[in-house]
Structure 1
Amino acid sequence: MKQTKRQRQNSSYADDKQKKLKDDPDKSSRKSCTRFEDIPNEIIYEIFEFLDVYHMYTAFFNLNIRFQNLFANSNLPIKINLSLTSRSTFEHQYKPIIMLNKHRISSLRLSNLFTIDMIFSPIRNVSKLIHLQTLHMNNIQSKCIEKLLKYLASLPCLSSLIILVVDCVENKNKLYRRIFRLPVLKYCKITMTKFVESEPLSIAINKYSSIEHLVINNGCYLHELISLLSYVPQLRRLSLRDLYGTFIKQTELHSIVFNYLTHISINKTNMTFDEFELLIRNHFPQIQSLYFSRNFDDEFLNANRWQRLISSYMSQLRIFDCHCTISAFNERNFQDLLNHFNSPFWIERQWFFTHHIRSTSMDRCNGMTIFSTNPYRRKYYTIYGENGDKYWSHDQKINLNTVHFVRIEDIKAINDCNNYFPNATELTLICKSINENQIHLSPILNSILPLKQLTKLVFDIYHYRFATIIELLYFTSNIHTLILNCTSLCESSFIFIQQHKTFQLVSKTNKITNLMILTECTFEVTKLLVNLCPQLQHLTINIKKNDFAPTLRFLLSKDNHCIRHLFSLYLQHVPEDQILILNELIKPDKLFGHCFMKVSEGFSGNVYLWW
């Protein structure tokens, strides 16, 4: 496959490399290398660019003195990914490398509360990350990020920031202000799982941010949004999740126009069409691409109103990508409504749509979803049940080569799916139950996507059979993340399941390192799943209260061969009395004294363990 070479991340390194090439004019006349030791340094540096720093050191550092000098005397930028790392690996290998090479780090990805604390302690060491360009922090606590942002403002190269805050943010405006003070930031993605409502920011007057692409994955009110965007006048792309409408006057904030903003994505909103129209007319005159999803507002399916708005205020719009759900409807009126989207206005722009009827029974409809079918470079695709194509004369298929995430909401619909997703890597199955005739899903699924290519599998099924999971895992040998949101397990004998040849084969061949059990889980089911995944490194689990103690002993036992690779636990919804017991167990002289523990603030009952 043709690969585009990445741009050099460190100009001084590039200059050094060019100088070496100029100083050695006879290099091109040398004979081709037949031994690895004969490869020129600049080629070695090219190889290093594609490796995480840990793999770089472990593979090359101890080969000979030459490679040790390459590391010690180089200004080569290094990338660090600590998404899944044990405590021992971090303390004995990553930590020394990071401490000695902070000035060379260009990219830093952290997904562990404990490693975040260790790397940025003491906090003044942040100023040594002088070449840091990209910082990605999942699962950071609010107090930590507030303090950290104050010091990140001193970094001269930080252009990309991604943060996910796991506990409640008491003052999100304070967080926003500190982000906007980062001097060269271009891309920012913020996710707050919980926050306290507050008054919107004051309108920016003379201090602005350099951000050009902003993603906010937490709730935001319409009046907050305008104030927030006043700090980012250079913004070109905006993505929002959960935008809440509020009543605003037409004259309010009328002077704030965002002339550079061309791409807008609004995933889930309860704005009225009147509010949406005011937003577009008063603030976003240059939109070229619009995606939005809206539930239970028929006015968003008024084709004539859309046509007037687009013609008058969105003349540059090229991409119109919508996803709307309405409740009960009259079929005849609905057909008339949809026919308005078949007018020349929509056809000339190549904007086409299809729909899916949601019903609780054969005779009763409880909603309909209408969505765009144009060949945009969409990464997500949902397979529904009945699509009702009889209403549409211009239905087209999207560009399936761009789809990486496939979601199936009706198992029966797989048989009728004529599409193929050659680049899919994640699959989500959603349904109430899987019956006896649907247990063997793999051959059907493999006809619409390459199962061996999948790396993430999600089961969101109320009533399921364990045999279904085993059978599908047999054909998806490269899965590293398995998520189970399954309430009712239909099995009578756990011993029989584990003795089955398919179970034993899957347990020896699967590569699952990350398992998430989102519904309440018993001790027996936990043992079954852990035995199925012997390569497991991280487990997210909601343990049934009566099974809490035995399950924890099983998961933290040093002598348990089944969990020899496990080093991280995320316990959800832990009662306060159990947290007190945990505090006693992890004391240095106790059974689980080898563990670090953090409890999320705000009494959410979530506990993180790492060893």
Structure 2
Amino acid sequence: MQWQENDVIQNSNWIKKRKLHNVDFFSDVFSKRIYSNRYHFEDLANEIFYEIFEYLDLYDIYKGFFNLNQRFQNLIINSNFLNQINISTMSKSKFEYYHKNILLPNKHRIRLIRLSNPFMNELIFSSAYTILRFIHLETLIFDHIEMKDFIKLINHLAHLHELYSLIISLADHIQSLSVLFSSIFQLKKLKYCKIEYTIKDDQNQKSISFDLTRHVFSPIQYLIINGDFPFNSLNNLLSCLPELHHISIQSLVNSNDNIKIDDLSYYIHLRYLKYVSFKLNSIDFNKFENIIKQFFDYVEILHLTMNSDEKYLNAKLWQQLIISYMPYLRIFDMKYQGSIENKYDIIKQFSSSFWIEKKWFFTHEHDWKSTMDRGVFYSSIPYRRKDYMYYWASDEQLYSHNQEENFNSVNHLFICSKIKDHCLKCFPNVNQLTFTLFFDDWNDSIVRNLNCMISLEQLTKIVLEPYRIPLKDIIRLLCFTSNLHTLQFHTFGLHHNNLDVVRRNYAFEYASKINKIKSLILHGRCSLNELEFIVNLFPQLKCLETGMNRTEIQQIIRFLLSKTHNKTQHLFYLCIAYTPKYINSNLYLWW
């Protein structure tokens, strides 16, 4: 069985996009049947209404059609729309209508629920009685939920006998992985689980270790962990998952506890484990080798990213491991990030007959102009890799047995150095872009070269990690990315500009008219004047996350909530970062 995150939601969105291009269909329907034959709108066939509904949100369908007449009520009640409740970001008043008229009357038939903020969690699952009425619920998605609220819910969720898929993103810092996973393992029907969490930088490592002293078994087959997980606890975790098929961990980290691999006397054979994807942060090769020997007997697909210990670049060690302990391996996808200086002779071992016969090819890239210590060695066949890190130069010698790279599967591109003029790499399906470095000579050529690699019009999210990117360059980028809906950058650029002068610039005026930014994350603190600039630049803004000067918080909130102007007419969700005594040191407002 193939599992994908939010399959129903993603497929629905894909269908809608495809149908938007089918102009002829609607042209024929409306021009021939309505205008030529003078039909009334309600005379259209049910099938046509279902086609129209594909374009609309469930909220708009219900509010616009349900109370028209009995026919439309029956159309909506007998459709599949009410089986899948994807409550995206919306205002509080809109959600209250949604909750009362759509969700509560249909909870007995709902199979999927997705909630986008912690306020929705509290309103929908306010009592055990309410939870148990969702008798056919199969998939539950919490985009943001506090740990204490999740723990309250978990005992009741265990009584939902059809719940097999759980996706959670925790809003606060995790305090104990043992508490989190032991709670999830209570769900005895669960097959798919995706967890996202964060850990405080200064948190005691012992407190986050995963250590179930008694053997607890979970039926989970697909497990995805987006967060730091202690490597020394990996044995314990895997030993709790006898039916595991697929595991992905975003970050395996060293911990300071005293649990050692050899201390755990109980092991199981993971006969169903076929897919493994790990990012190893400062994990010694020898330690990871023990994990391979113990658990990877039946693994067929192995994706690894690592950033230390040059033993990972030793092809002979890998060859011995694969032959002896991973006989069924058919995809070996490795990415080593770090120093590759003076390691070319070692790297060339990956061009031996063993690797060529299996059609496993490798190359490396690095930024020649900055330092030889920064680079990446990786499998050149992307194996449907969804992200790609771009560096300035690549080593052509390792391409001798390789075909042209195909980047069709990549949807997230990381720019880690200045873009090469006339770059031949093409990423046709990238919709998310992250800049990891600041370029002193950012100019129009950067945008031009970038547009040769990707379609800027296709981008929906951009993350600008460097704090020094000038405001004028951010605005210039907005002029070429009119379909962007999410943007993230540092407030540094706001602090070092005369914003009144910038506001009179033509680029500002053009960018403010064409951009469709709905969600904005600002790292750092904003003043009232800077927030006024922001809402003028992003007039369609719905969700805003930023830090604020404590002395101006009341003034800023009063401005954002004011009805004397229409600059924030779409804004309904605000996260004020760095505020003590609130969730994750943040204050959330929803109206």
Q: Structure 1: how far apart are the matches of 2:280 and 2:560?
A: 38
Q: Structure 2: how far apart are the matches of 1:254 and 1:169?
A: 27
5+ long unaligned stretches in structure 1: 1-5, 8-31, 580-598
- AA of the residue aligned to 2:438: K
Q: Please state whether the residue corresponding to 1:458 is helix, strand or coil.
A: strand
Q: Please state whether the residue corresponding to 1:271 is helix, strand or coil.
A: coil
- What are the residue-to-residue correspondences of 1:311-322 with 2, within 5 Å? 311-322=323-334
**Which residue number corresponds to residue 221 of structure 2?**
212
Q: Please state whether the residue corresponding to 2:517 is helix, strand or coil.
A: coil
Say which is worse superposed, 295-304 or 463-472, in terms of deviation. Answer: 463-472
1:493 to partner: Cα distance: 2.7
Conserved in 2, the CA contact under 8 Å of 1:302 and 1:337? Answer: yes
2:391 paired with 1:384: yes
- What are the residue-to-residue correspondences of 1:395-410 with 2, within 5 Å? 396-410=403-417
Over 3 Å counting, the alpha-carbon distance change for 1:105 and 1:287 in structure 2 is same
Residue among 296, 311, 318 paired with 1:306: 318
Q: Structure 2: how far apart are the matches of 1:142 and 1:418?
A: 47
- What are the residue-to-residue correspondences of 1:58-137 with 2, within 5 Å? 58-72=63-77, 77-137=82-142
Residue among 439, 456, 459 paired with 1:454: 459
- AA of the residue aligned to 2:84: K
2:469 paired with 1:428: no
- What are the residue-to-residue correspondences of 1:256-405 with 2, within 5 Å? 256-327=268-339, 329=341, 331=342, 334-358=343-367, 361=370, 365-390=372-397, 393-394=400-401, 396-405=403-412
Over 3 Å counting, the alpha-carbon distance change for 1:552 and 1:47 in structure 2 is closer
Over 3 Å counting, the alpha-carbon distance change for 1:359 and 1:526 in structure 2 is farther
Over 3 Å counting, the alpha-carbon distance change for 1:424 and 1:56 in structure 2 is same
**Which residue number corresponds to residue 54 of structure 1?**
59
2:208 paired with 1:228: no
Conserved in 2, the CA contact under 8 Å of 1:45 and 1:76? Answer: no
**Which residue number corresponds to residue 533 of structure 1?**
538
2:183 paired with 1:200: no
1:431 to partner: Cα distance: 2.1
Q: Give aligned pairs, total.
A: 549
1:476 to partner: Cα distance: 1.3
Q: Please state whether the residue corresponding to 1:124 is helix, strand or coil.
A: helix
- AA of the residue aligned to 2:185: F
**Which residue number corresponds to residue 237 of structure 1?**
246
Over 3 Å counting, the alpha-carbon distance change for 1:231 and 1:39 in structure 2 is farther
Over 3 Å counting, the alpha-carbon distance change for 1:338 and 1:251 in structure 2 is same
Q: Structure 2: how far apart are the matches of 1:72 and 1:326?
A: 57
Conserved in 1, the CA contact under 8 Å of 2:283 and 2:308? Answer: no
Over 3 Å counting, the alpha-carbon distance change for 1:274 and 1:226 in structure 2 is same
- AA of the residue aligned to 2:358: R
Deviations 1:294-337 (A, max 9, x none): 112111111111110011111111111111134374x3xx1211
Deviations 1:253-286 (A, max 9, x none): 4641111001000023332222211111112201
- AA of the residue aligned to 2:319: Q
Over 3 Å counting, the alpha-carbon distance change for 1:74 and 1:421 in structure 2 is closer
- AA of the residue aligned to 1:294: M
Runs of 4+ in 1 over 6 A off after TM superposition: 32-35, 73-76
2:458 paired with 1:417: no
Conserved in 2, the CA contact under 8 Å of 1:54 and 1:80? Answer: no
Q: Structure 2: how far apart are the matches of 1:442 and 1:199?
A: 46
Say which is worse superposed, 492-501 or 313-322, in terms of deviation. Answer: 492-501
Q: Percent identity?
A: 38
Residue among 437, 462, 477 paired with 2:482: 477
- AA of the residue aligned to 2:178: N
Q: Structure 1: how far apart are the matches of 2:333 and 2:354?
A: 15
- What are the residue-to-residue correspondences of 1:140-179 with 2, within 5 Å? 140-179=145-184
Q: Structure 2: how far apart are the matches of 1:295 and 1:456?
A: 26
TM-score when scaled to structure 2?
0.85
Over 3 Å counting, the alpha-carbon distance change for 1:211 and 1:38 in structure 2 is farther
Say which is worse superposed, 536-545 or 387-396, in terms of deviation. Answer: 387-396
Conserved in 1, the CA contact under 8 Å of 2:463 and 2:488? Answer: yes
- What are the residue-to-residue correspondences of 1:24-63 with 2, within 5 Å? 37-38=42-43, 41=46, 52-63=57-68
Say which is worse superposed, 388-397 or 159-168, in terms of deviation. Answer: 388-397
Q: Please state whether the residue corresponding to 1:515 is helix, strand or coil.
A: strand
Conserved in 2, the CA contact under 8 Å of 1:200 and 1:223? Answer: no
Q: Structure 1: how far apart are the matches of 2:422 and 2:380?
A: 17
Q: Structure 2: how far apart are the matches of 1:351 and 1:305?
A: 15
Over 3 Å counting, the alpha-carbon distance change for 1:486 and 1:391 in structure 2 is farther
Q: Please state whether the residue corresponding to 1:562 is helix, strand or coil.
A: coil
Q: Structure 1: how far apart are the matches of 2:560 and 2:40?
A: 47
- AA of the residue aligned to 2:158: A
Conserved in 2, the CA contact under 8 Å of 1:433 and 1:462? Answer: no
TM-score when scaled to structure 1?
0.83
Q: Structure 1: how far apart are the matches of 2:189 and 2:53?
A: 27
1:74 to partner: Cα distance: 6.8
Conserved in 2, the CA contact under 8 Å of 1:161 and 1:187? Answer: yes
Q: Structure 1: how far apart are the matches of 2:537 and 2:284?
A: 49
- AA of the residue aligned to 1:376: Y
Q: Structure 1: how far apart are the matches of 2:51 and 2:151?
A: 37
Q: Please state whether the residue corresponding to 1:423 is helix, strand or coil.
A: coil
- AA of the residue aligned to 1:605: S
Over 3 Å counting, the alpha-carbon distance change for 1:365 and 1:375 in structure 2 is closer
Conserved in 2, the CA contact under 8 Å of 1:273 and 1:300? Answer: yes
- AA of the residue aligned to 1:102: K
- What are the residue-to-residue correspondences of 1:178-197 with 2, within 5 Å? 178-194=183-199, 196-197=207-208
Say which is worse superposed, 481-490 or 141-150, in terms of deviation. Answer: 481-490
**Which residue number corresponds to residue 586 of structure 1?**
none
Q: Structure 2: how far apart are the matches of 1:210 and 1:249?
A: 24
1:392 to partner: Cα distance: 5.1
Q: Structure 1: how far apart are the matches of 2:79 and 2:547?
A: 47
Q: Structure 1: how far apart are the matches of 2:359 and 2:102?
A: 54
Over 3 Å counting, the alpha-carbon distance change for 1:59 and 1:96 in structure 2 is closer
Deviations 1:53-108 (A, max 9, x none): 31331342133221123445778742222221111111133433211111122211
Over 3 Å counting, the alpha-carbon distance change for 1:80 and 1:73 in structure 2 is closer
5+ long unaligned stretches in structure 2: 1-6, 9-32, 201-206
Over 3 Å counting, the alpha-carbon distance change for 1:82 and 1:573 in structure 2 is same
Deviations 1:517-567 (A, max 9, x none): 113333333222221111100001022445544433322323232111111
Conserved in 2, the CA contact under 8 Å of 1:465 and 1:490? Answer: no
Q: Structure 2: how far apart are the matches of 1:45 and 1:234?
A: 40
Say which is worse superposed, 261-270 or 482-491, in terms of deviation. Answer: 482-491
Q: Structure 2: how far apart are the matches of 1:212 and 1:176?
A: 14
Say which is worse superposed, 342-351 or 87-96, in terms of deviation. Answer: 87-96
Q: Structure 2: how far apart are the matches of 1:566 and 1:191?
A: 26
